[in-house]
Amino acid sequence: MVYISSIGRGIPEYHVSQQEVKQLVSRLFSNKHQRLQRYLSVFDHAKVDARQLVCPTTWYEEEHQFDEANHLYVEHALQLSLEAIDHCLEKISAQNSNLPVFPYEAVDLIVFVSSTGITTPSLDAYIMNERPFREDVTRMPLWGLGCAGGAMGLGRAFEWLKLHKDKTALVICCELCSLTLQLNDTSTSNIVGTALFGDGVAATLLIGEDSEYTKYVSQIALSIQETHSYMKKDTTDVMGWKVGKNGLHVIFSKQIPKLIKSLWKGHVEVFLGRFGLTIKEIDTFIAHPGGRKVLEEMETTCHIPKEKLAYSYDVLRSHGNISSATVIYVLKKWLEDKGDHRLQQPFGLLSALGPGFSSELLLLKWVMR
C-alpha cells in the first residue's frame, strides 16, 4: 500500500477563454485552411470553457523556431514545477499543523514526467538545484508518454515504493502544450488540438506504508492498491508527435474514442476482476479527460453514470487537456473530497490513455489508518 498524501499545482499566468482561442485560431488559419469554419465548431462542442497558457495570446500569432519555443518551455517548466512542488509540500504541512514543515530532504525519489519540451540533463536536475533536495535522491525522468504520463508516473513511483516501503516519492507532471502550436500545420490534428490543449503542472507526494513520514498522512487516507499497464501493438500512429523543422507536430487520430470500446473496456474489466470488483463497484472514475468524446464513450461503453466522471468533466471545462498533468488535477479533486461516504464507497479507478496506444490503470482506495 502507498499513500497519496498531497497534490500541488503550478498554474500559468494567462487565463484564456475558449472563445478567445477560437477567435485566435480563426485569425491565424483563415487563409490557410479551406474548411476551417467546419472545424471551428469543435471549439463550441469540446466542453472546454477556459484554459491557462504560459504566454499571452499575441505570442502565438507569430511563427517561432523550435529552439525559441523550447527555451520558453525550460524557463516556464522550471518555474511552474517549483510552484507545484512548494504548494504540494506546504499543503501537507498545513494539514498537519502540529508537525514541522515537510522537508525537501525527506523526498527519496523524484519522477519527472513531460512530453512537450526537451532538456538534457532532464528538468529534475534543474529543480534539485533550486530546492534543498538531497544529492543522493533517486531520479526517474519519463518522456514521450503523452496523456498517459500522469498515470504512468504514479504507477512507476508506486512500484518503487512497494520495494522501498520506508521511502517517499514526488511525481511531477509538467506539460506546456501551447508551445507546440504550428502556424504552418493545417492538419485536422493541429486545429482540433488547439480546441483542447492547455498548460499546467502538478506535483504529487506519495508516502510508503513504513515511512516515518506517514505521520503526515490523514487518518482517512487515499491509497494506491495496484497498477497495470497495457499497450496495443501497431497503434503508434494513433497519438503522438511528428518532429518537423519547427518542432513538434501533434498526431491526434479520430480513432481514439473508438478504442475505448475495443481496448479500454477490456483492460478495465480484466484489471478489476483480479480484485473481485466490477465497474459498478467503483465509486469514482479519475479518468484523464482526453476530450468530450472520450469521456462520453466511457459512459456509453461501460455504462458509467455521468456523475462518476464529474471531476474529469470539471477539469476539462476549467483547464482543457494538459496532457499528463490533467489526470492529477482530477485526482486532486477526489483527494480533497471530505464526504462521509469515503469508507462506505472506498474504491476509485484512475485511468489514462496515451501514445502507443496505451492504457494505464491504478486502483485507489480510501483506508482508515
**Residues 116-132: tens digit of each pLDDT:** 999 999 999 999 999 99
Question: How large is the average pLDDT for residues 100-124?
Answer: 96
What pLDDT score does 33 carry?
A: 62
Q: Structure pTM?
A: 0.96
Using 50, 70 and 90 to split pLDDT, how confident is the model at 184?
confident
DSSP calls for 129-148 = HHS---TT-EEEEEES-GGG
Query: Which is more confident, 145 or 101?
Result: 145
Question: How large is the average pLDDT for residues 286-298?
Answer: 94
d(C-alpha 15, C-alpha 52), whole Å: 5
CA 313 to chain centre: 14
Contact (Cβ atoms closer than 8 angstroms) between residue 238 and residue 357: yes
Q: Which of 91-95, 157-161, 222-226, 273-277 has the lowest mean pLDDT?
A: 91-95
d(C-alpha 210, C-alpha 281), whole Å: 29
Question: How large is the average pLDDT for residues 57-82?
Answer: 95
d(C-alpha 294, C-alpha 289), whole Å: 7
Strands (E) in 98-212, as ranges, are 109-114, 138-143, 168-176, 199-208
d(C-alpha 298, C-alpha 292), whole Å: 10
Using 50, 70 and 90 to split pLDDT, how confident is the model at 295?
very high
The C-alpha torsion from 350 through 353 and 359 to 365, rounded to 10°, is 0
Domains contained in the chain, CATH given: 2-216 (3.40.47.10), 222-368 (3.40.47.10)
- Residue 48: strand, helix, or coil: coil
Cβ neighbours of residue 164 under 8 Å, at least 6 residues apart?
Answer: 108, 109, 208
Using 50, 70 and 90 to split pLDDT, how confident is the model at 208?
very high
Q: Which residues pair with 221 in a beta bridge?
A: 367
- Residue 25: strand, helix, or coil: helix
Question: How large is the average pLDDT for residues 287-314?
Answer: 95
C-alpha pair distances (Å), 283 with each of 68, 260, 307: 45, 20, 10
Active-site residue, selected from the candidate residues 55, 147, 173, 177: 147
Listed ranges 24-38, 219-233, 329-343; the one with the highest mean pLDDT = 219-233
**Annotated catalytic residue 147:** yes
